[in-house]
A and B are shown apart, each in its own frame.
Chain A
Amino acid sequence: MSETSGQDGHADGHHGASIELESLTKRYPGSPQPAVDNVSMEIKAGEVVIFVGPSGCGKSTTLKMINRLIEPTGGRIRIGGEDVTDIDPVKLRRKVGYAIQSAGLFPHMTVAQNIALVPRMIGWPKPRIRSRVEELLDLVGLDPGEFHGRYPRQLSGGQQQRVGVARALAADPPVLLMDEPFGAVDPITRDHLQDELIRLQHELHKTIVFVTHDFDEAIKLGDRIAVLRERSHIAQFDTPEAILTNPADDFVSGFVGAGAALKRLNLTRVRDVEITDYPTASVDDPLQEIFNRLRASGTNEVLLLDRRGRPYKWLRRGDMMRAKGSLARAGTLVHDTVTRDATLRDALEAVLTDSAGRVAVTGRRGEYTGVVDMETLMNSVHELLEADRLEALEAQHELETARADRTHAEQEGDGGEKKA
């Protein structure tokens, strides 16, 4: 029987499950104001939703009500259409992965034992648990052979956090709750873990609810962001693009902070913008041919590629003159490249630091695919911002039309029919 329920979980796991919160409220005895006041939201299956807001705004409390670590005083929670507000919380939590700040690994258990906890509790057979542990370690980028038998204190903060995520994913739950999971690691590791999470989500398509107070993290990870103000009131719940270009009010724009256009650059990858082609030559080409190509292209410069097609040197016309038959010492070495998956922000950084204001774009194995320069970037950003603005206006318009329709329908007397 446990086998079947496990497989059900598996089937769910591949799709994620929707989460509906309906007028969720938490009131603590002795305080006049509720900690979380009447929160309603719908989270689609397979979506990454970020709760972001100042400390003490109730975002963590709201998250913990989803798996009922904190019991709501009012409202309903539905996961995958099923009302889970009154089911056994222990059963509910086994279907909902939970990862917390500084991982929360049990120090007296090995990495493998920590990951195996939930599968063991729901009664998976031993061989299946063992292979699942290996699979998960592999998934979060830790070598199973090396890390299997280690204790948490023998791991770095980043590695612990990976194991924490693996443990949360162990029984393949459709929903994953993450409570500031990367809050306690250094910025470089955090950046790395965020990239890993994005990669994981591409493979897994879980429904993820993620709490953070770091707006940049929210932009990077979220499909949609819920900006929460005190008592978990939703100030704005929308895509990162929409929040950046069209913040709902002063609170949201204050939270977005300065440099929204710069942050917007984080949301677009180099592959999404126009890459210009550049005259190139191989190190093996004869000098005369390179010279001819340079003259034919009409530019002042040619990009020299090494034998594996990777950017090697920038050659100017003057360099060629001085080369006198050998390219060995001519030109300037390419010191920085960006991949097609890099964000526009990374590309801008590289362009700004380059003396000639351009940077070579490389493919998966480091081979040359094109060049971006200042002009391309600026044009792209303008286009992006313009498109966002139009989209936001359109969405607003739609919303207003829908609202008007509803008011209209209610006035027509449909409201009475609904009640009956």
Chain B
Amino acid sequence: MTFWEYLGNRHQQLLADAYQHASAVFQCMVVATLLGVLIGVATYQSGWAGNLATLSTSTILTIPSLAMIGLLIPVVGLGVPPTVIALTLYGLLPIVRNSIVGLRGVDPSLVDAARGIGMSRLARLLRVELPLAWPPILTGIRVSTQMLMGIAAIAAYASGPGLGNVIFRGLASLGSANALNQVLAGTLGIIVLALLFDAAYVLIGRLTIPRGIRV
């Protein structure tokens, strides 16, 4: 069976896997973004807290993803929970780091001006600091998403959802007729998804970054 025939035969199964893959990454990204920005907002003003947040998230990133998921299985069981937890944790680092860098990079004279014209702490954060830090935060989200696309494939090891299942099936039956096709389909599927997400981020950037600070 050629690759194209394989795709023709299995397209329904592949599309379902791709959808689940995308959906898992998307949902984890939403959680990681909220958590990451919150951690950034909570820690950027203090030197040591910000450094601690960056350090601990980058420590998480050094744990091999396979090991992380393996370690989570005895704690939370198989399937969706370890996938979601692992993906969210991995997604945090770029977002936390870019939030802190972005928020710390806001021109202090602008913060001074915001204070001077009578903006409350919350108004300052929501109307001045976060909008100005948004471009680097969005970059962080983009990097995170790319990374999670790959890591999500490992989730199949814990019977998680997504295109990883196809790849693992292929790897398990290497030498058989469809093995290569399966690995290829899974990998290409992840690449296509990553490109689609990236395109979506470019669009989001166009829509959400105010014209005055767009480069």
Contact = CB atoms under 8 A, between A and B. Distances in A.
B132 A107 contact: yes
Nearest to B116: A98
Given A93-B117, A108-B132, A100 B112 contact: yes
B210 A109 contact: yes
A118 interface: yes
Interface residues of B, number: 20
Nearest to B119: A121
A104 interface: yes
B213 A67 contact: no
Contacts of A106: 110, 113-114, 127-128, 132
A194 interface: no
A65 to B, nearest CB: 12
B115 interface: yes
B79 to A, nearest CB: 43
A105 B109 CA distance: 9
Given A100-B113, A104-B113, A90 B210 contact: no
A152 B118 CA distance: 20
A93 B128 contact: no
Contacts of B114: 106
Given A108-B212, A109-B210, A110-B212, A69 B116 contact: yes
Contacts, number: 65
B120 interface: yes
B103 to A, nearest CB: 14
A2 B71 CA distance: 58
A90 B118 contact: yes
A102 B108 CA distance: 13
A109 B211 CA distance: 8
A167 B212 CA distance: 17
Interface in B3-31: none
A177 B210 CA distance: 29
Interface in B27-81: none
A142 interface: no
Given A69-B112, A100-B112, A102-B109, A118 B117 contact: yes
Interface of B is mostly: helix
A322 interface: no
Most buried by A among B115, B116, B131, B213: B116
Contact of B211 (A94, A121, A151, A167): A151
Interface of A is mostly: mixed
Contacts of A121: 118-119, 123
B117 A168 contact: yes
A152 B117 contact: no
A34 to B, nearest CB: 22
Nearest to A95: B118
A167 to B, nearest CB: 7
B118 A69 contact: no
Nearest to A98: B116
Contacts of A97: 117
Contacts of B116: 67, 69, 93, 98, 100, 104, 177
Interface string B100-137: 00000000011011111111100100011001100000
A416 B179 CA distance: 104
Interface in A90-140: 90-94, 97-98, 100-102, 104-110, 117-118, 121
Interface of A: 67, 69, 90-94, 97-98, 100-102, 104-110, 117-118, 121, 151-153, 167-168, 177
27 contacts: A69-B116, A90-B118, A90-B120, A91-B118, A92-B118, A93-B116, A94-B117, A97-B117, A98-B116, A98-B117, A104-B110, A104-B113, A106-B110, A106-B113, A106-B114, A107-B110, A107-B213, A108-B131, A108-B210, A117-B119, A121-B118, A121-B119, A151-B210, A153-B212, A167-B117, A168-B117, A177-B116
> What are the 6 A-B residue pairs with the smallest beta carbon separation, nearest first?
A104-B113, A151-B212, A93-B118, A98-B116, A94-B118, A108-B210
